[in-house]
Structure 1
Amino acid sequence: MNPVPNAVRAGLSRGWIEFKNSFANVGEVLGGYLLTPALFLAIAVFSADSTVEGGRTPLSAFLMTTGVTMLLLMLGTVTIAQVIGSEREDGTLLRARVAPNGMLGYTVAKSWHLLTMAVVSLALMLLPGLLFVDGFAVQGVSGAITLVWVCLLTLLALAPIGAIVGAVLSNPRTGVGLLMLPVLGLTGISGVLFPITWMPGWLQTVAQVFPAYWAGLGVRAAVLPEADAVLELAGSWRLPQVAVVLALWAVVGFAVAQWVLRRMARGTSGSRVQEAREKAIQRGY
């Protein structure tokens, strides 16, 4: 039998098992799936009487787009970095490297696990927002299609970044916490928390280099009315540019992540894994 399809099937099976196991722990379900949607929904409901300055959409609807975008950013960077770093430390990556087509199966498993997590997390964010938040509505069939491809491209653009960070961090638990600082910083300047036109010109330029700005722009295009595009830099949603920039980050990031992961895997040995385990025990994990 062809080993490549076998590796893909094994990866899909493993990713599905990991996804189902994520529901085994009540604390993980509450913190990983329900906390963020509940938080943003509560904030949005309390902001229902306000509108975004310069636009007609309720502030609550804009805040829901913030929640969706931040959820994508966290899944694609922090979650991936934590998984890669932990599994490098416990020897999972080493076992994948020595198995036939093991890295292919590992990549498929992680990708499938991330996708299934994203679907559930986004559903828990979007469905209550669409039902209870005024002005937050998918803009027809084209808006639904836009939301799907923007979310997929965003995850593809961000996941390599998370993988690279997880591969190079010496202490995945501390390092992943520190990773949240630049993620939150980019979120702050990228028009996710408030319209980017409020930012100085040089920060607007910096923000457009990174995928966070384009992810937020695409999400807003899918769920906010066309009239609110006036709050954007070019006065439009610029969806072709959203697709191009996110796709470029995905392609370049994938190439760099593959190189980093292979280099990291070649430098990993059983003795190093055991040493990492002992250090983790000493840190109290």
Structure 2
Amino acid sequence: MRAGAARGVIELRQTCTNIADLWTYLFPAVLLVGTVFFMRDATVPGTDISLGARTLPSTFGMGLAFAGLVSTATLLVTDREDGTLLRAKATPNGMSAYLVGKIVLVGGMTLIGFVLQLVPSLFVVEGLHVDATGWLILMVLVPLGFVATMPLGAVIGSLFESPRNMGLVMLPVIGLVAISGIFYPISAMPGWLQGVAQVFPVYWLGLGMRSVFLPDALTVAELGHSWRTLETFGVLGLWAVAGLVVAPIVLRRMSRRESGSAVAARREKAMLRTV
């Protein structure tokens, strides 16, 4: 745990001193603030509440899902290709420390992104509020969201050997975001799309964040005219249990296949692509 925490802090500090990584923090924040700014005059159907205010908490949930799914998968694939994972496997308790480090890193990156998005958005969006119940929900929702998505992201990452193939992950995730009520109420979508969206964590993370930051009057735009807090925790809990059962099995099988020759072969392929 100590080695993993130290590793995560070091990697997080490195992301704050790298121009490319800093851009990955700033660009989503600029994009989000610009989006909610231009949505400020539109209202949620049936209410007088800004569509921007409704969208902002949803994007917080989307960011949490992206961090758990895409960021975890990308980091795992990158570390497989450059041999980092093999070195972790070769040290005592190295894999456990590696996973702890990635939890610290992804959690820290998500927190930085959340602050960069929230603070400027408060100046352009009206109607957000958090009461005592909302803070309690938030304290449970965020860690549960990580546990529900990070194991799945690790499983996805174990299926690919090159970061250049991660576009195959991004496309379905973006499609899932589009049908999960993040940018427009899911109640306005066809029934079969509503059913598909409710199977996956993205919708429930967006719904949970809306229940934290938005007034109860906005439940008129939700399915069942309710925040469905118990259902949110129930579905995310099922994904967490499934991920914690499946991910260790998949990761153990993946790590057994890691060898110096496999890393060298992937590195050679990567060099051939750059020539």
Which TM-score tier does this pair reach, normalised by the shorter chain? over 0.9
Aligned length: 275
Deviation at residue 54 of structure 1 after TM alignment: 2.2
Counterparts of 1:58 and 1:100, CA distance in 2: 54
Of 126, 139, 142, the residue aligned with 2:130 is 139
Matching residue of 1:4: none
Q: Matched residues in 2 for 1:138 and 1:93: separation? A: 43
For residues 56 and 152 of structure 1, the distance between their equivalents in structure 2, rounded to whole angstroms, comes to 33
3-state DSSP of counterpart to 1:134: coil
1:273 aligned to which of 238, 263, 271: 263
**Identity over the aligned pairs, expressed in percent?**
44
Could you tell me how far apart the structure 2 residues matched to 1:70 and 1:220 are?
11
**1:275 CA drift (Å):** 0.6
1:169 equivalent to 2:160? Answer yes
TM-score by length of 2: 0.95
Q: Is the 8 A contact 1:73 1:183 kept in 2?
A: no
Q: 1:209 and 1:256 mapped to 2: Cα distance? A: 18
| 1:102 has 2:94 as partner | yes
Q: CA shift at 1:27, angstroms?
A: 2.9
Offset at residue 255 of structure 1 (A): 1.7
Deviation at 1:67, TM superposition (A): 2.5
Taking the aligned partners of 2:29 and 2:136, their CA distance within structure 1 comes to 22
The 2-side partners of 1:78 and 1:87 are apart by: 14
The aligned counterpart of 1:116 is 108
Note the alpha carbon deviations across 1:20-76, whole angstroms, 9 max, x for none. Answer: 00011123202x111111111112112211101123320111221232122222211
2:8 maps to 15
Return the letter of the residue paired with 2:145.
T
- The question of 1:193 aligning with 2:186 is answered no
Q: Does 1:238 align with 2:228?
A: yes
Q: Given that residues 135 and 212 in structure 2 are in contact (C-alpha distance below 8 angstroms), is that contact kept between their aligned partners in structure 1?
A: yes
Counterpart contact for 1:56–1:228, Cα < 8 Å: no
Q: Measure the CA separation in 2 of the matches of 1:161 and 1:172.
A: 17
Relative to structure 1, the CA distance from residue 80 to residue 24 in structure 2 (aligned partners, 3 Å threshold; closer, same or farther) is: same
Conserved? CA contact 2:9–2:104, under 8 Å: yes
Whether the 8 Å CA contact 2:141–2:233 is kept in 1: the answer is yes
RMSD: 1.5
Q: What is the identity, as a one-letter code, of the residue corresponding to 2:81?
A: E
- What corresponds to 2:207 in structure 1? 217
Q: Which amino acid aligns with 2:37?
A: V
Q: CA deviation at 1:17?
A: 0.2
Aligned to 1:157: 148
Which AA in structure 2 matches 1:103? M
Cα 1:134/1:35, change in 2 over 3 Å? same
Q: 1:141 to 1:131 in 2, by over 3 A?
A: farther
d(CA) in 1 for partners of 2:20 and 2:256?
36
- Gaps of at least 5 residues in structure 1 are 1-7
CA distance in 2, matches of 1:38, 1:159: 25
CA distance in 2 between counterparts of 1:54 and 1:282 reads 57
Distance 2:142 2:177 in 1: 16
After superposition, give the CA deviation of every residue in 1:142-201 in whole Å (9 maximum; x if it has no partner): 22332332222222211112111111113222x212211111111111111211111111
Equivalent residues of 1:37, 1:67 under 8 A apart: no
CA distance in structure 1 between the aligned counterparts of 2:203 and 2:132, rounded to whole angstroms: 23
- SS of alignment partner, residue 274 of structure 2: coil
1:61 aligns with 2:53: yes
Tell me by how many angstroms 1:86 deviates.
0.7
Distance 2:59 2:13 in 1: 24
Is residue 2:238 matched to residue 1:253? no
The answer to whether the 8 A contact 2:76-2:157 is kept is: yes
Shift of 1:210: 0.8
